[in-house]
A = this chain, B = another copy of it.
């Protein structure tokens, strides 16, 4: 917990909890725009290199975010195998339904965030019964996972001849 520049008793303030929330929700707003940029059929069916369609990546992001914020607040983690990414693949799941669920998770994160006790960020847990680490790194991991797969969605959109939303626009 110490380094060359910072006494252990007063670590440098790198990022505040509210800035981390803004960082995460900013990325989620951009991802929402990427989902919305796909035509209905291509969202659920288009792929390159044998990869998943973007809808499945987006559902994974939502499931991790929704179960993840509950885990961070409560310390209770659903096993990763219980996050049923497949259930939304049922007939009748649409882009509109996916976007509505996205917005529900956005509101859930905003509502739960203030309940995260300040010491939680450095606490080590076995997130989703599988990933052990301090919670700040678990949270950065799922933001990274979203950025990673969203970048893949950009390639899908470009290959479809669709201009993706600008990467820097997170508001």
Residues of A whose CB lies within 8 Å of any CB of B are 1, 3-6, 11-20, 23, 27, 48-51, 114-119, 121-122, 134, 136-137, 140-141, 144-145, 147-152, 154-161, 167-168
Contact = CB atoms under 8 A, between A and B. Distances in A.
Given A14-B20, A140-B23, A149-B151, A158 B48 contact: yes
Contacts of A117: 5
Copy number in this complex? 2
A6 B115 CA distance: 11
A48 B155 CA distance: 7
Contact of A118 (B12, B136, B145): B12
Contacts of A16: 1, 3, 6, 11-12, 14
A148 B150 contact: yes
Given A48-B155, A147-B151, 15 more contacts: A1-B16, A5-B17, A5-B114, A5-B118, A6-B118, A12-B17, A12-B118, A14-B17, A15-B121, A49-B155, A49-B157, A141-B168, A149-B151, A152-B155, A155-B155
A118 B6 CA distance: 7
A95 to B, nearest CB: 21
A5 B114 CA distance: 6
A3 B15 contact: no
A121 B3 CA distance: 15
Contacts of A122: 13
